[in-house]
Amino acid sequence: MSSPHIRTVGLTKTRARALDGQGYRFHCTRPIAQARPSSIDMDIQMSPITDERLTLYSFRSAGDMQTFIEQFGGDVLE
């Protein structure tokens, strides 16, 4: 399983704001279906932004997002 390429970590400030969900978010260039961790028990939602070739991952907490990033690469939140 290949890891997602994380482009931006943190709260998004683009049109992704208009998408449903209130959790922590970051953009990724791979669909979550190709890299969803089966061993991590957390609620992950994804919203594709097809014209920008990005997938928006949404998490309920910063801890869930950090766990996902630590498992699949990217910058650990400080």
What is the distance between the alpha carbons of residues 61 and 18, in angstroms, rounded to a whole number? 19
Backbone phi, psi, residue 43, to 5° = -90, 110
Q: What is the mean pLDDT of residues 2-22?
A: 44
Work out the average pLDDT over 23-35. 52
Q: What's the average model confidence in pLDDT over 36-45? A: 63
* Residue 8 phi, psi (nearest 5): -140, 130
**Does position 63 have pLDDT exceeding 70, yes or no?**
yes
Q: How many CB atoms within 10 Å of residue 73? A: 13
Examine the pLDDT at 32 and tell me if it is beyond 60: no
* Residue 40 CA to its chain's centroid (Å): 14
Instruction: Give, in degrees to the nearest 5, the angle at Cα 43 between 58 and 1.
Output: 80
pLDDT for the residue numbered 8: 46
Asked whether residue 19 carries a pLDDT value surpassing 50, the answer given is no
Position with higher pLDDT, 52 vs 33 = 52
